[in-house]
Amino acid sequence: MGEWFATAEVTQNNNTFPDHFLLIWLCGWTIGGIVTIRLALWSLFGKEVIEAGRGQFTISKKMALFVKDKTYDLNECKNFRTQDDGKEFESDWGIRKNPDLLNFADSGVIRFDYGMKTIKFGDGLDEAEAAMILNKLKSKKILTDKNFPEVKPTI
């Protein structure tokens, strides 16, 4: 309602100069609303879709507004691993909670190096599930030994 009335006030032609405070308030309110809708959609209906094959690895975040699908060359994906930061957890109702709410597109337990960046995915997984997924990708020969870190023998 507040945004509706503020928009009506700003767009009226009674004033030659709109109230600057009202314009700033309206912009902030609109941005806050978009962020809230984005977080609600992701928390309630969002899912991560991983596609691998034909030399490509694609990560899609469905219902994450303003997040593009990301495709990577599997030959350049190195050092696949699991790493749980302990930041992600679920509430009592099964809805995802993530303290880094504004950057949920870059979260997850499974990680790999791509050039000079670390790519994260597997939002909401625990480390055992993540390890099972990596083993499955390796057993299907989608990922190979060159995609994993070298294991150096300990003496």
Report pLDDT for 2: 76
Cα distances (Å, whole numbers) of residue 148 to 6, 8, 16, 37, 115: 55, 58, 64, 38, 14
Confidence of residue 78 (pLDDT cuts 50, 70, 90): very high
Structure tokens of 150?
């070298």
Confidence of residue 112 (pLDDT cuts 50, 70, 90): very high
Range among 4-13, 25-34, 88-97, 142-151 with highest mean pLDDT value: 25-34
Query: How many Cα atoms within 13 Å fall on the side-chain side of residue 16?
Result: 0
Cα distances (Å, whole numbers) of residue 135 to 106, 110, 128: 22, 12, 11
Structure tokens of 54?
């034909």
Helix boundaries (H) for 18-88? 20-45
* Domain at 46-147: CATH code: 2.30.29
Q: Which residue has the tokens 């390796």?
A: 138
Q: What is the pLDDT of residues 15-43, one digit of tens each?
A: 556 677 888 888 898 999 888 888 888 88
Alpha carbons 107 and 119: distance in angstroms, whole number: 9
Cα distances (Å, whole numbers) of residue 104 to 72, 122, 136, 152: 19, 11, 25, 34
pTM over 0.75, yes/no: no
Which one is predicted more confidently, 71 or 152?
A: 71
Q: Where are the domains of the chain?
A: 2-44, 46-147
Structure tokens of 117?
């960046």
